[in-house]
Amino acid sequence: MAETRVGIIMGSQSDWPTMQGAAESLDTLGVGYETRIVSAHRTPDRLWDYGMTAAERGLQVIIAGAGGAAHLPGMMASKTRLPVIGVPVQTKALSGVDSLYSIVQMPRGYPVATMAIGAAGAVNAGLMAAGILALGDAALAERLERWRAALSASIPETPEA
């Protein structure tokens, strides 16, 4: 089994159907990960502990998804030097624009690499994490290259009538 290098965290169980996309990307590329529910508002102590120990536990990238007043990615970025990739989960009230704005507008010094709203963002978060890890992992880099080439090859040149 692949060693755990990525932490996929989310504010609620209700975020999992979205965040599953990140897990699927990592599964496809053979990158080990763990999944946790860590809420900035409901479990702040859990957030604190996770951020404090993530690097020493061997994690290398954190993917954080949350919706609404989505403080989780930014708060996590304040607690760890690891790169944090934020996924704005789509909400009912404001379609995820609230999540996006909450995650993307970080103040200077604590960056969060913010993905698109919803499912595409979650899938891309997994790919982005793999791309970061591939910088120091030639075998993963090759798997990622092959995956990208296959995606490209799957796109038809002309639309079906």
Distance CA 161, CA 91 (A): 36
DSSP strands (E only) in 74-124: 84-89, 113-114
Which of 4, 31, 18, 57 is closest to 127 using CA atoms?
31
Query: Is 15 annotated in some ligand binding site?
Result: yes
Q: Within 88-147, which residues bind ligand RP5 (CB under 6 A)?
A: 89
Residue window 25-64: x/- pattern of binding to ligand RP5, with contact defined by CB under 6 A:
--------------x-------------------------
Would you say 87 and 125 are in contact if contact means Cβ atoms under 8 Å apart? yes
Q: Is 66 in the site for ligand RP5 (CB under 6 A)?
A: yes
Considering beta carbons, is residue 101 or 147 the nearer one to ligand RP5? Answer: 101
Q: How far is the CB of 11 from ligand RP5 (least distance, A)?
A: 2
Binding residues for ligand RP5 (CB under 6 A): 11-12, 14-15, 39, 66-68, 89
